[in-house]
Amino acid sequence: MAAEIHSRPQSSRPVLLSKVEGHQDVVSAALLIPKEDGVITASEDRTIRVWLKRDSGQYWPSIYHTMSSPCSAMAYHHDSRRIFVGQDNGAIMEFHISEDFNKMNFVKTYPAHQNRVSAITFCLTSEWVISTGHDKCISWMCTRSGTMLGRHYFTSWASCLQYDYETQHAFVGDYSGQITLLKLEQNTCSVITTLKGHEGSITSLWWDPVQRLLFSGASDHSIIMWDIGGRKGRTLLLQGHHDKVQAICYIQLTRQLVSCSADGGIAVWNMDISREEAPQWLESDSCQKCEQPFFWNIKQMWDTKTLGLRQHHCRKCGQAVCGKCSTKRSSYPIMGFEFQVRVCDSCFESIKDEDRTSLATFHEGKHNISHMSMDISRGLMVTCGSDRIVKIWDMTPVVGCSLATGFSSR
Q: What is the pLDDT along the chain (410 residues), one digit of tens a residue?
A: 233 333 334 458 999 999 999 999 999 999 999 989 999 999 999 999 999 999 888 899 999 999 999 999 999 999 999 999 999 999 999 999 999 999 999 999 999 999 999 999 999 999 999 999 999 999 999 999 999 999 999 999 999 999 999 999 999 999 999 999 999 998 899 999 999 989 999 999 999 999 999 999 999 999 999 998 876 677 899 999 999 999 999 999 899 999 999 999 999 999 988 888 888 889 999 999 998 888 888 888 888 888 888 889 999 999 999 999 999 999 898 888 998 899 999 999 999 988 888 888 999 999 999 999 999 999 999 999 889 999 999 999 988 654 444 333 33
- The dihedral formed by the CA atoms of 237, 228, 378 and 84, expressed in degrees to the nearest 10: -110
The full set of domain ranges for the chain reads 13-276+357-397, 296-354
Up-side HSE of residue 196: CA atoms within 13 Å toward CB?
2
Burial class (CB in 10 A: 0-12, 13-18, 19+), 31: buried
- What distance in Å separates the CA atoms of residue 314 and residue 337, rounded to the nearest whole number? 12
CA distances from residue 26 to 232, 262, 303, 361 in whole angstroms, order as listed:
41, 13, 61, 28
Classify domain 13-276+357-397 at the CATH topology level.
Methylamine Dehydrogenase; Chain H (2.130.10)
**What CATH number should be reported for the domain whose range is 296-354?**
3.30.40.10
Please report, in angstroms and rounded to a whole number, the separation of the first and last CA atoms in the chain.
10
Task: Output the pLDDT for position 401.
Answer: 52
- What distance in Å separates the CA atoms of residue 233 and residue 328, rounded to the nearest whole number? 31
Burial class (CB in 10 A: 0-12, 13-18, 19+), 75: buried
How would you classify residue 348: left for phi > 0, otherwise alpha for psi between -120 and 50, otherwise beta? alpha
Name the 3-class secondary structure at 76: strand
- The dihedral formed by the CA atoms of 253, 254, 260 and 264, expressed in degrees to the nearest 10: -130
Contacts of 293 (CB under 8 A, 6+ apart): 285, 286, 287, 300, 301, 304, 306, 308, 309
Q: For 239-277, what is each residue's pLDDT tens digit?
A: 999 999 999 999 998 999 999 999 999 999 999 888 888
No. of H helices and E strands in the chain? 2, 32
| DSSP track, 342-374 | EE-HHHHHH--GGGG--SEEEEE--S-EEEEEE
- Phi then psi for 370, rounded to 5 degrees? -110, -15
Q: What is the DSSP letter of 90?
A: S
